[in-house]
Structures are given as structure tokens and as C-alpha cells.
Structure 1
Amino acid sequence: MKKYFRRFIMIYLIALLALPAFGMRASAAAEKQVDILFLHDTHSHLNSFLTVEDGQDVTLGGFAKIKTLIDRAKAENPDVLVLDAGDFSMGTLVQTIFHTDAPELRMLGALGCEVSTFGNHEFDYRSSGLAGALYAAIECGEPVPALVLSNIDWEAMEAQGLSEDQQLLKDAFEAYGLCDYVVVEKGDVRIAVFGIFGEDSLACAPTCVLQFRDAAEAAADTVSEIREKENVDMIVCVSHSGTAEDESKSEDEILAKAVPEIDLIVSGHTHTSLYEPIRHGSTYIVSCGSYGRNLGSLSMTQEPDGRWRMDSYELLPITQDIAPDTAAQDKVDSLMEKVDATYLTQFGYTTRQVLARNTIEFATSDDLYDIHTEHNLGNLLADSFAYTVQNADTGDDHPVDVAIVPSGCVRDTFATGDITVEDVFNAYSLGIGADGIPGYPLISMYLTGAELKTGAEIDASVSDFMPSARLYISGLHFTYNPHRIILNKVIDCYMTDEKGSRSEIEDDKLYRVVCDLYSGQMLGAVTDVSYGILSVQPKFADGTPIEDIEDAIITADGREIKAWAAIAGYLDSLEDTDGDGISDIPEAYAAAQGRKVVEDSRAIGDLVKSPNKFAVIIIAAALVMLALVILFIVLIVRKCLQITAASL
């Protein structure tokens, strides 16, 4: 009996010792891992491009080089998942065939991208343009990514009755197969991927006719549906919402905290390069920057509780030393040939045509957005608009008083050396005109002198809250102090005549202002940011209000004057100073020209001098509030004294 008992004890002990090893093997066998590559905000940058970073001319990006890196990753793990988070269009000349050939979707498919979503710029060519791109993608017969977007509010739109444009998009979405989410299998991992369109994205899409649900509410409903209907290991959101330094305004961080079941958010829209992921709970947020400068790469492992741990994360720079994939580059080249044949011929240009030579170090497009001061790139572009309209037969003989360029429309800068037609288009590439031809047209409107001053105040006071509305100007000069009370930051505002002499602005006089169509379309959004306090009313030359901003589009010889073509024409017109037959950028653009002067002073006298009507209203309101608070305190103290006296 004792012998059997001893054997039992030995077997029991051996089993106990073996259990941990068995558990480790079982855990290792059950452990799941996934590799993900991602892009967003590529903005039609199918080719490598020359730009400026940290004061250096650099060549970056290119889908053929991205394809090389993706193929390397797939050689190590054939089950790598490739995702995109929207704004795949609008930014280079290839966008001009977006609505007829869907080059961006086709090239995402050529990269092996399996899922993408819409960004705000996918709506730039209006409903017909996006619908055309989707049908072209279907008809091409090539691989294209699945499209997901979960917060379109069809229920609300259908209750109101779908408009013609809404029905057009609904039909195109159904034909393409747009859905809330898709499930993809990568080895033994099942991954649900859904899409979100953010609040700021919608604010930046003035031609979008769709309505959207709150992102967090729609995401929560979609995640619940996925949990109920699908047996998945991971939930990923491709979001075109973005992040911000202020966490309270960082839409994808708000989403992560509101819907903690999401494992990974690929965050587009704000062009952010996150070199370390943002984490809230078990949700990771990643971003790789814009224009295909980087390819995001990450690996994750599933934990015993079912959530996922980030094992590795990096942004792979797409630099000049990466060999392009030949087949992908051939495909891009063929698309660019079609651009020359179908689009640029209308303007008498070719892609690689040199317009001017440059020795100036221009500010970058990010500088225009981030650093609130005068920038030489903005000056050059605004001068281009003024020059072109002034010298075109537009039917309006009134001189151009002011030309305006908003930072949100400037997409790239000019490096030193040759500036080509492609470079110019890349710098100012957005939109489409009422004529259906790609490229925002210029518009002409009249504002009073008082409204011009308001425009300066909008730039000084509002653009910190809406950096895409920072203004760069030709013809108008102003000085502002960023430390003064909001709506009263501008302390001097005047114009210059043809000789460069100062000319005072007359409040009641009408002045001719030239800008691009998008700027006119966004006037309402700028007014909303200031809660209606700062607003301007575009007018015709006779002072009557412009009700439809497209009525202000400038035409010459029966054609819209496109903003990018105005820049190209201006550069081509510049003096050839070295006699080589090519225009040269004037040295005048190397230095500031006093168009926007920042008076960075905290001196009391500088903070309170020359108050405008808004300052008076704000100060009066503050004094009234202070008086009410003091009165309330006095009444409370008096009541307390009465109670104390009564108790004695």
C-alpha cells in the first residue's frame, strides 16, 4: 500500500513540475501576432518630389519606393496588413485625372493596400468627381482597396429626402462596396477594420453634401456590431480625424477614450508624424505624416486578456536611396503621361517645363501654417494672383487692390534650382472649378475698407484657432501684437500704392480683392470660429452682395483663371536676369517686405493703445460682469452681517 502511495506521490509531483512548461507551450501556441504597414494623407504624391525640410532641399516619397519597402516586409511576413487613413487624393498633377481614372485608388491597390477610408479632400471635386473616381476604380479591373466609413448619417439624410448629389454618392458607394467595416484574415488573426470621418474633416470639406454622425457614437455602435456579429481578434479604426497638442481637441484621442475596445487607430488628417504611438488604456494611436514621406510600420502581440501589445513601431523614411519598384514606377509614369495629354495641354504646359530658376530659400508650407508672421512664399503667391488678374482681360477694369492667399491652400514650397510646372501645381493644387476642370479658380470680390481691417483682425485673432485661415497678402500691410486682447490685436493697417507709398484705408470705400474659390467658400467657417463677431460680406463692384460665391469666379477669354496657372504665368513673366532664357526669382523675395509685422510687446501702453470697437465691447462686458460679482459679494456680506447681528 505504501509502495502505491509513494508512486502516486511521485507521479503527482512530476505532473506539478510539468504543468508550467506545458502551460508555457500552450500559451506560446495560442499567442497571436500581426504586422501592419500604414499610410495616410498621401495627397496624390505618387512620384518622388523635391521639397525643403530643415532648410535643405530633399527628394522624398514615391509609391514605387514605398512598394519596395512593402515587398521587403511581405518577404519576411506574407500576412502583413497594409492600411490607409484617407486623403489619398489632391496634391499633385495626377489628381487632375482623379475623377476619370482613379489613379490614387489604383496605386494604393498596386501597393497591396487592403483597406482605406475617405478624407475631406476626396470631396474636393464635388460629388460628381468622387462618384466618377469610384466608378473608374471599379471599371479598371485592377486591385483597389476596400473603402470603409461608419459614421455617414444616411438615416438623417433620407428622412429629409436625399438631394441629387447625395443620391449620386449613395449609388456610387453601393457600387464600389463602401461599408462600415470589413474583416480581413492575416494568418490566424481576424481583424475588423472600420472607418471614421472627423468633425474638423467635415469643416474642411465645403463641397461635401453628406451628413455625419458623432464619431464616438458611431464608432461605439460599429464596435458593438462587430463584437456581436464577427469573431475577430483585433479591432482597427482608420480615422480621418487627427490628433492635436491640446488633448481636449485631439479628435482621435477623444475617440480612443470614448471607445476603449478599439485596439489601434491609424490617424490621418492632421499630417502628424508620431514617432512614438499615443496610448490611452489599451488603444494605440499611430500617424506617419503626409505625402508618403514615411511608411508606418508596427508589430503587435495579443495578450492573454485578448488585448494587444505594441512590440515595435517606427516610421520608415522614403528617401532617395531606396530603389523604386520598376513595375510600380512604370504605372505611375503612364498615368503622368495621360496628365500631360489630357490636362496640361489645355494650358499650353508640360509637366517638366521649367518656368523659373530660384536661388531664394523660401518658407515651407508648414511654416505658413505654424508660424504666424510674414513669409516670402505667401508673398510670392499673393503677388502672382494680383499680377495675373491685373494683366488679364477679365471685363473688370478696376485695379486689384488686394490679393489674398490662405495657408490652408498652400501644399508645398519651392526648392532652389529649376521651378517646373509640376512644382507649381504641387504648391497650389487643390480643388475644381464650376467649369468641371481641376484647379480652384480665382474669384474677384469687393470689400469695404472697414471689412479689409476686419480681415486683418481675422488673421490676427482667429487664425490661431484655425491655422489654415492664416492670410498672406499683396497690397495690404498690417501690424499686430499677439499679446493684446482678442479681436483687438491689429494696431496698424494700411495699403500701398503702385510706388510702394503708404495709403490710408477709407472705411466706406469699396476695394477689389482677389483670392481663390476655396477662400471664398470658407468665409462662413471663419465667421463661425469668431461666433459671428468678425464677418465680411463679399460684394460685386456696385456694392450688391454676392449670394453664390461661384458668381465671382474670374474668367478671361471664356476660361476660368486657375490659381495654379496664375502662379505659373507670373513666374514665367519674371525678368531673366542672367540671360539664359529662363525667368529668375527676384532677390526682393529673400527678405520680409513689411506686409505682416508682429509687434511682440507686453508693455502696458502697447497692450491698451488704440482700442477698437470690439475691445470696447469686451472691456465693457468684463466691467459689467465684475460689477455684478462685486454687487453679489456685497449683498452676501451684508446678509451675513444681518444674520450675525440678529443672532446676537
Structure 2
Amino acid sequence: MDESRVRYGVACGSLDGITEKKSRMSFRKKVLKLSSKEIGARLFAGFLLVAAVFFWFSASASQAWAERLVVLHTNDHHGHPVAFPFGGEPAAGGLPARATLVAEIRAENENVLVLDAGDINTGRPESNLFDARPDILGYNFIGYDAVAVGNHDFDRGRRVLAEQMSLARFPFLSANVRTSSGKLLAQPYIIKRFKGFNAAVFGLTTVQTASITYPEHIAGLHFEDEVETARKLVPRLRKQADVVIALVHLGIYDTARRGSLRLAREVPGIDLVVDGHSHTKLDKPIRVKIRVSGAFVPVVQAWKWGLVVGRVDMDIFGDGTSMAGFELLPVNLPPDKGGFRAGRIEENGDLSASLEPFLRKTNEMLSEPITRVTTEITHRKGRTKGTSLGRLVAESMMWSARALQPDFAVQNSGGIRDDIPRGTLTAKTIHQVLPFDNTVVVVDLEGKALARLLEHMAVGAARDGKGFPQVSTGLEMEVETGSGRIRKVLIGGKHLDMDRTYRVATNSYLAAGGDGYRVFVVSGQAHDTSICQREALIDYIRQLGPRLSPLEAKPGIIVLR
């Protein structure tokens, strides 16, 4: 054996073993030299890495298992149970077409809520003549989950509202209207249980109802502040549901200090606000920043009269919700109004057949011709200025109460709901123009009280324009824009006499203090003629002759710009 080779081999083997041993000893020394602080930092960094991976997988799993909720919403239906002429389209809207649309969406989606934000009542004669019975039946057929109580749902009085609630197979919701005994007038909320999650829906009614509704119809009711009510209720609902929806009849305005924007800003814990009242057509949600949290909540509204159905797609996770989509679905609108994008919606035949007897009876009652209209008589922009139709309505009250010799007449713009088209005029159209069951009333006012009435009228005309009074001949007034200060007033061509008693013709809604006309109640002596305002207008038009043209457009109230 070659010794050198053996020694070399042994030497090499020994050298490898010694080097490995020294290397392990060196690593231990380095570890021992680390401070406990450094060791803790490195362990914490490792923990954070593991936690980040865990939470990433958890979030991915949560999103992967998110539940989808589709919310379909309408508002301000206002007595439009069947298709009607709109924007050149002879048959727009209507509950039978809406029923088809809702059924199609339900067939494609497992979790669907169908909601309405209030004001089912007061619109076309096929609804008005039957106290909205066809509308309630249609909502039952569609399968609405809940409807908010709107201000116009008091138009027929509390007895009729109670009958409608009894007929409905859905709850009317309002958490802020109480009777004189302190009990809630309506159910405050619902909890809808879906597979995998619960949805809470609560209702609110605008506190404006107390001043803009016929006082006799809301006597003994108290309308609590919407925000204060919601602040108490929402925390309770959050314990019972994964998503909380406010179904409200509050309105959208140009400030977040009122209406549904105020609610969204001031009350945390709401995932979606479905609104009505202002007839606002929102092509996309309004994202309102919640004041206390800085988070955002969407507010939606779907125009009016069932012309569109709003659709909100919401994803519901274990720790919150997010809006996945929003669109307004037109219900047989003409193309220039956004309709017919995917073809005309067929009407549900069963529902159409159920509503047909109401149409037949309506046509029998209202088909008698009154006169021939040579030129359209309109109320367009009637809440911001005097109109030819407003003048016609005011003159009809003067004529019907002529035995009492009123000095002038005043009509609220909001009481006129449609135009008079050119062609044959029937009672059906008059019912659409004046859908409210008002009578003609003459109120005696002393000169000082009349001055307060004129000040109220002037403010309505000059400020936001939404309370512009429609007046007859006999009154001439000039007011400053913004302030509403009266610059000139003549009654019967003469200056106001504070010592004289004047007579003002109006409708029973204003005479009872509606729209803030409290001076009629506080300082006036009322004489109710018991003449229905619609009949007064029909009789006045008949006596004008076989042809009707717009009256002279001389304004009774001039706003100085």
C-alpha cells in the first residue's frame, strides 16, 4: 500500500470533518451573539408574513363566497296602474309590463328584493276613482316586499289608507309616524331572510307631510324627525341583519342638510338608501360621505310613475357590503327617453285581464265630451311661474263661487298634475289634471290678514319657486326675487285697504292650511261651497263655449329679476 496515498486520504478526510465542525460552531456563535431584541424582531417579521398570507387567503375566500342581492326599486307611482301616453309613446309604463320585467329578473337571480319608496296614490282616474285598488292589486301580483308610506298616501284619508294596508299582501313601512296614543301608524321595518344572509328594510316618511297634506287627513298624527328615528333604529337592525336598507320618502335636494342626503350623511350603519318624493331621475347613485365615519353610502331614486325600475346589485360579505352595479330599466319608454334598448316589454296577460274591469268602468264614467280644445293648455314649469292652465283653474273657482263675489282666487301649483292636450276634452282628462278631491272654498280675511297671506304667496313665488301660486284676475302683485319683498299690490285695481274685509276663493286643501297657508285657518272665516273643484272646472269650461283656447297669459304675480 502506498503510505502517501493513505495519509493523503486520511488527511483529506480529517480536514473535511474539522471544517464542518468549525462551521457549525461559527453559526452557533453568531446566533448567540444576536440580542433577544433582534431575535424577537425576526420572529415578529415571520409572524407578519404568515398572517398576511392567511388574511389574503381569507379575504379571497370571503369574496369568493360573497352573496349577491338584487334590489329592484320604484317610487312615486302616483296612480298609474296601466300603460299611459308619455313623451310621444302611447303606452308607456304600466304594472303589467313592470310585472314581466320583475319576473324575468327574479328568474335569473336567487336573491331579489322588490321595494317602492312611497306615494302609490293620486294620479290617473283609473286609480283615483277606485282609491288605488287596482294599484294595490298590481303590487300584490308583482310581489312587492315592502312599500314606504309617502305623503300622498294620506290623500284619501286614514280610513282609505287603512283599507289599502289591509288589501296589500306587503307591508307599508314607516318608523317615524305615530298616532295620538303614541303607537306607530305602520310597520317600522322587515327582516327578509335569504339563504346565507338577512336583509333589514326600514321605512321613513317625510316630516313635510305635516304641512303639505290635507290637515284633516293627518289629524292626531305626529311625524318624528327622520334622522333621530333612524339613529335609534339602525343599531338594532344591524344586530339582526347583514345588510340594512333605508326605504324612505324624503326627497333629494341640492343640499345635504335635508331629505335623504341628510339621512345618509348623519346615520352610520345604512348600506343603501332607496328614496322617493322628489321625482328625481338618477342615472347613477349619489355617494354620500357619512359624517362620523368617512365611509360612503349610495342613495338611489327611480324617477316617477313606474316609467323606470331601478336595479341595484349588492355583494354581501361576512364583514360588509359593496355595490356591484346600478341601472335604470325603462318600462316601454320612447327611444329619446332611453327606452326600447332591448325591445318592448310584453305585458303580463293575467294582470292585464285583472285590471281591465277598472279601465272599462273608468271609460264609461268619464268618456263624455266636454268641449274641443284648439291649442294645448299647459302647466309646464308651473312650480316656478304662472301658467295658462293655472290661470284657467283659478278662474273656474272664481266663476263657481261668483254668488259670494270673491276678490280673487289662488290655486297651489302642486294641485295641478297634468296638461290639457289639443283635441276632444273629456272628464277623464280633468280627473288627471285635478286628481285631488277638493272643493271650492271662499275665505273672508281682514286687510291685515290678507297682507300676511300675500306675503306667504310672495315668498313662495320669489324664493325656491316650488310654491308659485296660480292666481285669477283681480290680483296684481310685484315681488323681489330672493327676498320675496312685495313692491306693488293691487286688488281689483286698488291698493290694499287694511280696514276692509276681502274674499279669496281657493280649494279646500289650502283653506285648511295646506302648503303653509295657515292664515286661512288662523284668521279667516271659511265658506265651503261643497262644489267639487273638478266639477267647477268642467262647468266653467262648458260655459266658455264649444271651443276652448288658452286664456290671456297676463301674469297676476310678477317676480322682478
TM-score tier, shorter chain, comes to 0.7 to 0.9
What does 1:317-332 correspond to in 2, within 5 Å?
317-319=331-333, 321-332=344-355
Equivalent residue of 1:245, what SS?
coil
CA distance in 1, matches of 2:252, 2:533: 30
Letter in 2 for 1:218: T
1:471 corresponds in structure 2 to 469
1:6 corresponds in structure 2 to none
Equivalent residue of 1:275, what SS?
coil
1:217-266 per-residue CA deviation (whole Å, 9 max, x = no partner) reads 221222222223x2x22111110111211222x22111112212111111
Equivalent residue of 2:346, what SS?
coil
1:428 shift after superposition: 1.0
CA distance in 2, matches of 1:182, 1:523: 32
**CA 1:356–1:78 in structure 2 vs 1: closer, same or farther (change >3 Å)?**
farther
**CA 1:414–1:318 in structure 2 vs 1: closer, same or farther (change >3 Å)?**
farther
Moved more, 308-317 or 560-569: 308-317
**CA 1:221–1:60 in structure 2 vs 1: closer, same or farther (change >3 Å)?**
same
2:234 corresponds in structure 1 to 223
What does 1:56-455 correspond to in 2, within 5 Å?
60-77=92-109, 79-96=111-128, 102-135=133-166, 137=167, 144-153=169-178, 157-158=180-181, 178-205=186-213, 206=215, 207-208=217-218, 209-228=220-239, 230=240, 232-248=241-257, 250-280=258-288, 281-302=295-316, 305-319=319-333, 321-338=344-361, 350-364=365-379, 367-369=381-383, 371=384, 373-390=385-402, 397-430=403-436, 439-449=437-447, 451-455=449-453
The one of 485, 488, 503 equivalent to 1:488 is 485
1:283-306 per-residue CA deviation (whole Å, 9 max, x = no partner) reads 211111222222222212235741
What does 1:492-507 correspond to in 2, within 5 Å?
492-495=489-492, 502=493, 505-507=496-498
1:402 shift after superposition: 1.4
The structure whose Rg is larger is 2
1:46 corresponds in structure 2 to 81
Equivalent residue of 1:561, what SS?
strand
**Matched-pair contact (CA < 8 Å) for 2:77–2:121:** yes
**Matched-pair contact (CA < 8 Å) for 1:299–1:313:** no
Letter in 2 for 1:220: R
How many matched pairs? 494
1:98 shift after superposition: 5.1
**Matched-pair contact (CA < 8 Å) for 2:411–2:471:** yes
Letter in 2 for 1:184: K
TM-score (norm 1): 0.69
**Matched-pair contact (CA < 8 Å) for 2:310–2:326:** no
TM-score (norm 2): 0.79
* Backbone CA RMSD of aligned residues: 3.2
**CA 1:247–1:478 in structure 2 vs 1: closer, same or farther (change >3 Å)?**
farther
CA distance in 1, matches of 2:256, 2:528: 40
1:77 shift after superposition: 2.2
**CA 1:461–1:574 in structure 2 vs 1: closer, same or farther (change >3 Å)?**
same
1:76 shift after superposition: 2.4
Letter in 2 for 1:124: D
Letter in 2 for 1:511: Y
**Matched-pair contact (CA < 8 Å) for 1:181–1:195:** yes
Does residue 598 in structure 1 map to residue 559 in structure 2? yes
**CA 1:481–1:118 in structure 2 vs 1: closer, same or farther (change >3 Å)?**
same
CA distance in 2, matches of 1:212, 1:315: 33
2:501 corresponds in structure 1 to 510
**CA 1:292–1:572 in structure 2 vs 1: closer, same or farther (change >3 Å)?**
farther
**CA 1:379–1:503 in structure 2 vs 1: closer, same or farther (change >3 Å)?**
same
1:507 shift after superposition: 4.0
Ranges in structure 2 where 5+ consecutive residues have no aligned partner: 1-49, 289-294, 335-343
Letter in 2 for 1:201: T
CA distance in 2, matches of 1:78, 1:93: 37
**CA 1:261–1:464 in structure 2 vs 1: closer, same or farther (change >3 Å)?**
farther
Equivalent residue of 1:44, what SS?
coil
Equivalent residue of 1:158, what SS?
coil
Equivalent residue of 2:431, what SS?
helix
Letter in 2 for 1:553: D
Equivalent residue of 1:368, what SS?
coil
2:35 corresponds in structure 1 to none
CA distance in 2, matches of 1:104, 1:203: 26
Higher strand share: 2
Equivalent residue of 1:382, what SS?
helix
Moved more, 443-452 or 18-27: 18-27
1:323 shift after superposition: 3.4
**Matched-pair contact (CA < 8 Å) for 2:373–2:424:** yes
2:544 corresponds in structure 1 to 574
**Matched-pair contact (CA < 8 Å) for 1:57–1:415:** no
Letter in 2 for 1:374: G
1:585 corresponds in structure 2 to 548
CA distance in 2, matches of 1:337, 1:46: 14
**CA 1:561–1:71 in structure 2 vs 1: closer, same or farther (change >3 Å)?**
same
CA distance in 2, matches of 1:356, 1:538: 40
CA distance in 2, matches of 1:153, 1:449: 38
Equivalent residue of 1:113, what SS?
coil
1:132 shift after superposition: 2.9
Equivalent residue of 2:555, what SS?
coil
Does residue 461 in structure 1 map to residue 465 in structure 2? no
Equivalent residue of 1:134, what SS?
helix
Does residue 562 in structure 1 map to residue 532 in structure 2? yes
Ranges in structure 1 where 5+ consecutive residues have no aligned partner: 1-14, 139-143, 160-165, 341-348, 391-396, 431-438, 496-501, 528-534, 540-544, 555-559, 577-583, 601-648
**Matched-pair contact (CA < 8 Å) for 1:66–1:318:** no
